[in-house]
Structure 1
Amino acid sequence: MTDVQMFAQWLGVLPDNWAVMRPKVLFSERRSPNNDSDIHLTPSQTHGVLPQTEYIRKTGNRVVLNLEGSDSMKHVEPDDFIIHLRSFQGGIEHSALRGKVSAAYTVLTPRSGADPRFFRWTLKSHGYIQSLQATVNQLRDGQSIKFGDFDKVPLPLPPLDEQRAIADFLDAQISRIDVLIDKQIKLIAVLRERRASVVTHAVTGGRSPSDMPTSGADLGQWLGLLPEGWHAARPRHLFTERRERSRSNDIHLTPSQTHGVLPQAEYMKMTGNRVVLNLTGSDSMKHIEADDFIIHLRSFQGGLERSHTAGKVSSAYTVLTPSSPVDADFFGWVLKSHGYIQSLRATVNQLRDGQSIRFTDFDKVPLPLPPLSEQGRIAMQLAYEIAEIDVLVAKAEAHIVVARERRAALITAAVTGQVNVHPSGREGQGVV
């Protein structure tokens, strides 16, 4: 089996009047240098090809400016396609704009007979992306896919009128699916805002807090006016820092914002993420007990994690253990609440992502201290209310998964002829 035949397998059995084409027959590589008037374009998987300024405004992400001078950038015409540094993950981007892109990218221009609207879907289809990944599986993330790699994956070529009919069909169908997905995404955002509000409201006694602090001037603002019988306590009066070295039988624990504290092996299995092993030896790791809290490297983004089991964690983390009678369930909510996280972030706004929050930083943000019996009552009520919200979030997320699977399947089916959207007859198939 030749490479062309192997990589053509993603096409399956095409209609009789379709052809299987080498990409170099359908596209040429545009190597034109940019013009003085060209705007800087940024291709991305989620937003397509945007002017760089609009991409930064929309995403908040800073992009790496071209360091070799604008005269080394490549010109792009409307209906060109751009192979960028993430194309092996998300396909090749269609540009509706004229402009310029980094010289690291490959710019493709369609030849006669290749409708850009049809190939806009084809080159982003799941089946095509899987085959493209197979051609470049030796490339490291961030390396460029060259025209020679692009040419290895054969492409379907329906008659031109059928290309247009498929593009019209997908434009309409995918737009409907995307509207449904967008509604679910907005619903999840509303539910998560509601979740955050419910937690902060409960752990501050139901009073309205002041505006969130923007500096470390008054970090008690997040508590607002506490109910009678509650106190604003210094964290050092409630928690001490555990500094015990790990024990020989301790399991390695990994804290995360989304999954809490898990055994390292379970964390890797659940997320597929590899974690950095402790490089200084197990004797430098810290012991942790059940109901201890961990300040980890993302705590300024997502709060502190409570451990439900004993084990050991990296020495880079700060381990806190209750030093006075407190309800661990209640403080599990407090130390993950939005208001608390905003105040914690204000104490460490000079820290870079990846630097550790120390006990002295933790001690700067006052904590609410209701009577012990009320802590337990609030924790139980929150567990009930938040469970209901989380069920709704999970349902919305499941709807999105199903819709995205449907979206991907429909695109691949349409661009490989499994969906007949054209009334004309079909005859003859060739491999060019």
Structure 2
Amino acid sequence: MRKMKDCDFQWIGQIPEDWMMTKVKFVADFYNGDRGKNYPSGDDLVDDGIVFLTSNNIHSTVLDTNPEITKYITPERYKLLGGAKIKKGDIVFCLRGSVGLCSINESEDEGTVASSLTVLRPKNINNHFLNFILNSKIAEIQTKKFENGSCAANLSAENVGTYVIPFPPLAEQQRIADFLDEKCGEIDSIRSDIQKQIDILNDYKKSVITEAVTKGLNPKVKLKDSGIEWIGKIPEGWKTSYIKRLFDITLGKMIDSEKDVGLENYLCAANIKWTGINVDVHKQMYFSEYEKKLFLLDDGDVLVMEGGMAGTAAIYHNEFYPCYIQNSVMRCRSKNAATIQTFLYYWLFAIYHLGYIDRICNRATIQHYTKEKLGNTPILFPPLSEQKAIVDYLDEKCSEIDVTIADKQKQLETLDEYKKSLIFEYVTGKKEVP
């Protein structure tokens, strides 16, 4: 067994006697994405051009440049951009949003990165070894030191440069990197299979909901033309309407940070998920008595995101009650007993995944599904008894699907934890490559 020694950093523990410690800034150069006037706009994005990397490309140790998730810019815009120009072997690190995620570039000879990313170009260190360290608990623990729970997670390249890391001899770095490439490749293969199963289940859920809210539950029912091209034919006894005719829509209150007394709970865009209200985000601000009456939420209210992932909806079930809404969220309530609010939720789910929101919002910039757009959104209007039957059917069916998805998500989480632990054990020298 090799001799070990203590290092000065508790979260790393002991390292081999012949290893040193260093900081990332001493073994890599940093290149940020261009954040100036030449930053690409929607008009600069093209179907086939030069790679423009975003956080969507970073979800494993190796950069994913699948064309389905990759953005491209014109050569003209690329020439105007300063900042990072990627090379093979670079490590792309996320500074905002999905903070701390990073991947090594093994495929792209040319390209650049979004302003939320930075590029590390290793020097005097094995690039795969450094990438594994940055994907380990060593980096994760140090990232958390710079997070501020009161705002969106945000790092700088300078912060990452201060990360302390183990530094073994170069030959051992190579052995560790080769070993982890093989082992992590096996884990990623298993993970990919599970993710495909989740994707199939999600697609099945979308099809079940869409079929139910557009065609009903009786496959033999007579159909008629809806008059709406993207909906097609609908059951004979159904009507078409607009959301504003069936539901009252209220946009939440503007952020008020000036008053710090009498603070009340409120929901913002970060709370709204298709799976329900995200209670990990808990915010408060001042509401006057009038505003409390105007923005108070009731159990069963349908909440819709105005910005961000515009059009995403959730059903409120008394989370943080009494609770109100901020102006990135809209509240929908039935105007009368002829409409069921949960039916509206399933309708919004269906049209979101059919691409309706994409068509009416400009996804190239910050998209907004405004109160006017929501109100003017078409909706199918079955008889009340059918609405209830559809909601009951979908509640049960989607619950079954969601349980299966949640089980597979836990499998992914277990794999991810195992992968991080495996990497940690070898990049700190606690385990030796066979």
The range that moved more, 227-236 or 164-173, is: 227-236
Corresponding residue for 1:238?
246
Q: 1:119 aligns with which of 106, 110, 130?
A: 130
Partner of 1:375: 387
Q: Which amino acid aligns with 1:155?
A: P
Separation in structure 1 between the aligned mates of residue 251 and residue 26 of structure 2, nearest angstrom: 65
Q: Letter of the 1:14 partner, please give it.
A: I
Q: Could you give the per-residue CA deviations for residues 109-152 of structure 1, whole angstroms, max 9, x where no partner exists?
A: 433xx444433423432214424665x679x93532279x44x6
Larger Rg over CA atoms: 1
CA distance in 2 between counterparts of 1:304 and 1:83 reads 31
1:283 corresponds to which of 277, 290, 293: 290
The CA deviation string for residues 46-77 of structure 1, in whole angstroms up to 9 with x for no partner, is 377879xx6887433879x999967x757877
- Please report the RMSD computed on the Cα atoms of aligned residues, expressed in angstroms: 4.9
Aligned counterpart for 1:110 among listed residues 123, 129, 146: 123
CA distance in 2, matches of 1:183, 1:330: 33
1:216-227 → structure 2 map (5 Å cutoff): 220-227=228-235
Instruction: Give the percent of matched residue pairs that are identical in Structure 1 and Structure 2.
Output: 20
CA contact (8 A) 1:84 1:145 kept: no
Q: Which of 410, 414, 417 in structure 2 is aligned with 1:402? A: 414
Change (3 A) 1:182 1:78: closer
The 8 Å contact of residues 329 and 379 in structure 1, kept in 2 or not, is answered as no
- 2:174 paired residue number: 164
- In structure 2, which of residues 205, 214, 221 is the aligned counterpart of residue 204 of structure 1? 214
Q: RCO (CA 8 Å, sep 6+): is it higher in 1 or 2?
A: 1
Residue 272 of structure 2: aligned partner: 257
**Secondary structure, counterpart of 1:14 in structure 2:** strand
The letter of the residue matching 1:283 is Y
- 1:144 matched residue in structure 2: 157
Per-residue CA deviation, residues 316-372 of structure 1 (Å, 9 max, x unaligned), is 7554432333352652444333236657527843697464522x5344333323332
Task: Say if 2:102 and 2:135, in contact at 8 Å, map to a contact too.
Answer: yes
In 1, Cα distance between the equivalents of 2:77 and 2:251? 47
Q: CA deviation at 1:400?
A: 0.7
Please give the alpha-carbon distance, in whole angstroms, between the structure 1 residues aligned to 2:22 and 2:355: 58
The answer to whether the aligner puts 1:187 opposite 2:188 as a matched pair is no
CA shift, 1:98, in A, is: 6.2
Note the alpha carbon deviations across 1:25-65, whole angstroms, 9 max, x for none.
Answer: 9837599xxxxxxx9885964377879xx6887433879x9
C-alpha contact 2:244 2:376 (8 A) present in aligned 1? no
How much does 1:101 deviate? 6.8
Question: Could you tell me which residue of structure 2 aligns to residue 177 of structure 1?
Answer: 187
Closer, same or farther: CA 277–56 of 1 in aligned 2, 3 Å: farther
* Residue 297 of structure 1, CA deviation: 1.2
SS at match of 2:380: strand
Counterpart CA distance in 2 for 1:414 and 1:388 is 40
**How far did 1:12 drift?**
1.9
The answer as to whether partners of 2:137 and 2:420 remain within 8 angstroms in 1 is: yes
* Alignment partners' CA distance in 2, 1:197 and 1:76: 40
Q: Which has the higher strand share?
A: 2
> Which is worse superposed, 18-27 or 379-388?
18-27
User: Are positions 1:357 and 2:370 aligned together?
Assistant: yes
Query: Aligned to 2:233, what secondary structure does the other structure show?
Result: coil
Q: Distance in 2 between matches of 1:242 and 1:116?
A: 52
Aligned residues: 380
- Quick one: distance in 1 between partners of 2:362 and 2:52? 32
Query: How far apart, CA to CA, are the structure 1 residues paired with 2:327 and 2:143?
Result: 42
Matched, 1:324 2:339: no
Kindly tell me: are residues 397 and 133 of structure 1, through their superposed partners in 2, closer, same or farther at Cα, counting changes over 3 Å?
Answer: closer
Cα contact 1:81–1:107 (8 A) shared by 2: yes
Q: Distance in 2 between matches of 1:94 and 1:166?
A: 19
Distance 1:414 1:236, change over 3 A: closer
Partner Cα separation in structure 2 for residue 132 and residue 28 of structure 1: 17
- Specify which of 164, 167, 173 is matched with residue 153 of structure 1: 164
Distance 1:41 1:343 in 2: 23
Q: Which amino acid aligns with 2:421?
A: A
Counterparts in 2 of 1:344 and 1:325: CA distance versus 1, 3 Å: farther
Q: What SS does the corresponding residue of 1:11 show, helix, strand or coil?
A: coil
Q: How far 1:398 sits from its partner (Å)?
A: 0.7
Q: Label 1:282 to 1:315 Cα distance change in 2 as closer, same or farther (>3 A).
A: farther
CA contact (8 A) 1:300 1:344 kept: no
Change (3 A) 1:293 1:42: closer
Per-residue CA deviation, residues 279-336 of structure 1 (Å, 9 max, x unaligned), is x755344344444434441498445444445753346755443233335265244433
Select between 169-178 and 372-381 the one with higher mean Cα deviation: 372-381
Aligned residue for 1:385?
397
Q: What is the aligned partner in structure 2 of residue 60 from structure 1?
A: 71
- Is the 1:84–1:144 Cα contact (8 Å) retained in structure 2? no
The amino acid of 1:231's aligned partner reads: K
Worse-superposed segment, 365-374 or 393-402? 365-374
SS of the residue 2:194 aligns to: helix
Give the 3-state SS of the residue equivalent to 1:324 in structure 2. coil
